[in-house]
Amino acid sequence: MDNEPTRTAAPKGGRTGRAPRSDQSTGLIFAVLAYSLWGLLPLYFILLVPTSAFEVVAWRVLFSLVFCALIITVTRQWRSLVGLLRRPRVVWTMGLAGLLIFINWQTYVFAALSGHVVEAALGYFINPIVTVVLGVLVLQERLRRLQWVAVGVSLLAVVVLTIGYGRLPWISLVLAFSFGFYGLIKKRVGGDVDAVAGLTLETAWLAPIAVIQLVVVGMMSGLTFGTVSPWHTFGLVASGVVTAVPLLFFAAAARRLPLSYLGLIQNFAPLLQFLVGVVILREPMPTERWAGFGLVWLALLILTVDMIATGRAPRRASLEPA
């Protein structure tokens, strides 16, 4: 698509019409919408109380699969999906990606429902650093000096936060590393699998696990689906839409924006999560945690400066949060 805006024909009277938005402006809108929805997800999951995190994630998987099937039907993309199913490497790779995103979703929803939204936000702030580290360990990339400084500052931040929390911030680390490896895997198939097809394959792999999880929850504590209120039931059903829509917005943004723009905008989601945790949910933020977050933000600033100075975005396979 041509990046230059076209102009409408001049109406009578000699006044020109307004030019439609450029691709980059439209992409920016889609990116802000995607990351805003991801940033506000904790509030959505809290509305689903008293449903447990295990039941929420199970329904999220199943209804995401249903919603993706509807999208593929409406857009008539079944032939493309069947083509992907004939490629074992892609199918198995998406299965591994599905397992990682399942761990990510389960940890994230648990954090939202147990009063650890700030710690979850920290995980997505750390994620760019984890991606850089994985580039070194897995892809054998070489880091520039500022990137090494950013990694060192991040490690110091983890130490400070461990002292502040009185334990290792495992929620943050699980979210950061599960999503980091998820992005690494998606990078391998990124050119072959779009957002909807990818989510369809991932949730198809996870559907049996989700069903088993619902059976176990039903036997141990009982399912809440259909027992609380019509709005609560609707909220569980809509979790599939809530999962897929930001991905579609992100896909639309990725087609229109340079990766460097997305790399900068991605911090909008954890920033919103952080504000939700501190301002709305009133989660505690003692001095040690402020110091730890400050170090993480410093590391992100160093990465950003390095990115701008070198004129390229950090190597990221996927910029999609939970």
Cα(283)–Cα(289) distance, rounded to whole angstroms? 11
Sign of CA dihedral 17, 22, 25, 31: positive
By three-state DSSP, how is residue 281 classified?
A: coil
Residue 168: predicted pLDDT: 86
Residue 297 has pLDDT above 50, yes or no: yes
CB 153 within 8 A of CB 291: no
Instruction: State the average pLDDT over residues 216-239.
Output: 93
Is the model more confident about 93 or about 311? 93
**Where is average pLDDT lowest: 42-56, 68-82, 174-188, 222-236?**
174-188
Cα(33)–Cα(300) distance, rounded to whole angstroms? 22
Residue 277: predicted pLDDT: 92
Cα(321)–Cα(111) distance, rounded to whole angstroms? 14
Residue 15 has pLDDT above 60, yes or no: no
By three-state DSSP, how is residue 48 classified?
A: coil
Query: What does the domain layout of the chain look like in residue ranges?
Result: 23-310
Tell me the Ramachandran region of residue 29: left when phi exceeds 0, alpha when psi lies from -120 to 50, beta otherwise. alpha
Distance of CA 141 to the CA centre of its chain: 24
Cα(186)–Cα(207) distance, rounded to whole angstroms? 20
Share of the chain above pLDDT 70, in %: 87
pLDDT of 112-135, one tens digit each?
999 999 999 998 888 888 877 887
Residue 19: predicted pLDDT: 40
pLDDT of 48-62, one tens digit each?
999 999 999 999 999
Six-digit token pair at 29? 């809108």
The number of residues in the chain equals 322
Which contacts (CB < 8 Å, 24+ apart) does range 136-143 have? 138/184, 139/184, 139/315, 141/315
Instruction: State the average pLDDT over residues 3-20.
Output: 45
Cα(124)–Cα(174) distance, rounded to whole angstroms? 10
Residue 298 has pLDDT above 50, yes or no: yes
Residue 322: predicted pLDDT: 67
Q: Which residue has the tokens 């041509």?
A: 2
Q: Answer yes or no: pTM beyond 0.95.
A: no
Residue 21: predicted pLDDT: 56
